[in-house]
Amino acid sequence: MSWSEFILVGLAAIAGGAVNALAGGGTLITFPMLTAVGIPAVAANITNTVALCPGYLGATFAQMNDLRGQKRRVLLLLPVGVLGGIAGGILLLNTGERTFRALVPFLILLASGLLAIQDPLRGWLIRRTGGHTGTAKIHEAWAILPVIPAAIYGGYFGAGLSVIVLAVLGLILDDTMTRLNALKQAMAFSINIATAIFFLFSGQIVWPVVGIMAVGSLVGGTLGGRLAGRIPPGALRKIVVIIGIIVSLIYFIKN
């Protein structure tokens, strides 16, 4: 890699860290950049997962105030995220390079579509449990069920992880977008850090890139986390959905 490519990767990490904090989907910026500079897809995904850990950490601390009063949710869901992330990492290491590249656009499109239909799905779930939209609440323990596949997905492929986690949390938990976004950030961090620790023994991490991206994602995540509550929920969803669709189309064309 040339110095210009290292600079591009660092800038992508700053942008990705901020996007992760604001809406999720920052890996939709960093992962394509890593493959664009010539890193194989599986190694790029593993390197990206390890490198973005500081960004998730910075964004989580920046939104700590919005996590207050959610201790029960954190204790309930974070262990599920850790185990699911490790399971996804195991699955990735047993997937071939060609197969993984073929799956990338479908996974990104899935994440974008799930967020786009979040509100109708949530209403359907409330009606299924016999409640009424806007008044009934689903027991928070049910959030474990959609979090499991979301965590496995996060360990397998980081792009859109925060998008999916935010969507599945919104399906079950009745709360403001700001508080759900803070919980999403903590969940994404637990999934990411567990998977990253597992990947330390994979032998596929590009360490020079990790160093640059770690600093960039920390800066971007911290800045983005401080702005997280200032974006209207509707705009938050639209930004992520548009990013996901565009990136998925690019990968479809490349494949």
> Using one digit for the tens of pLDDT, what is the confidence trace for 137-187?
556 777 788 889 989 988 998 776 777 787 778 777 777 767 887 888 888
pLDDT of residue 17: 77
DSSP sequence for 182-214: HHHHHHHHHHHHHHHHHHTTSS---HHHHHHHH
Tell me the average pLDDT across 83-102.
91
Give the pLDDT band (50/70/90) at residue 36.
confident
Question: Percent of the chain scored above 90 by pLDDT?
Answer: 19
Running DSSP on this structure, what letter comes out for residue 228? Answer: G
Give the pLDDT band (50/70/90) at residue 133.
very low
**More confident of the two residues 63 and 214:** 214
Cα distances (Å, whole numbers) of residue 62 to 57, 65, 103, 153, 226: 9, 8, 33, 25, 6
Q: What is the pTM of this model?
A: 0.75
Q: Which of 44-53, 114-123, 168-177, 189-198 has the lowest mean pLDDT?
A: 114-123
Domain boundaries, the chain: 3-254
CA distance 226 to 222: 6
Give the pLDDT band (50/70/90) at residue 53.
confident
CA distance 57 to 17: 10
Cα distances (Å, whole numbers) of residue 106 to 74, 80, 103, 150, 248: 30, 24, 5, 15, 7
- Average per-residue pLDDT in the chain? 80
Cβ count within 10 A of residue 61: 15
Question: Percent of the chain scored above 70 by pLDDT?
Answer: 83
**More confident of the two residues 138 and 91:** 91
pLDDT of residue 134: 45
Query: Is the pLDDT score of 85 beyond 90?
Result: yes
Query: Is the pLDDT score of 136 beyond 60?
Result: no
pLDDT of residue 8: 92
Tell me the average pLDDT across 211-215.
88
pLDDT of residue 205: 92
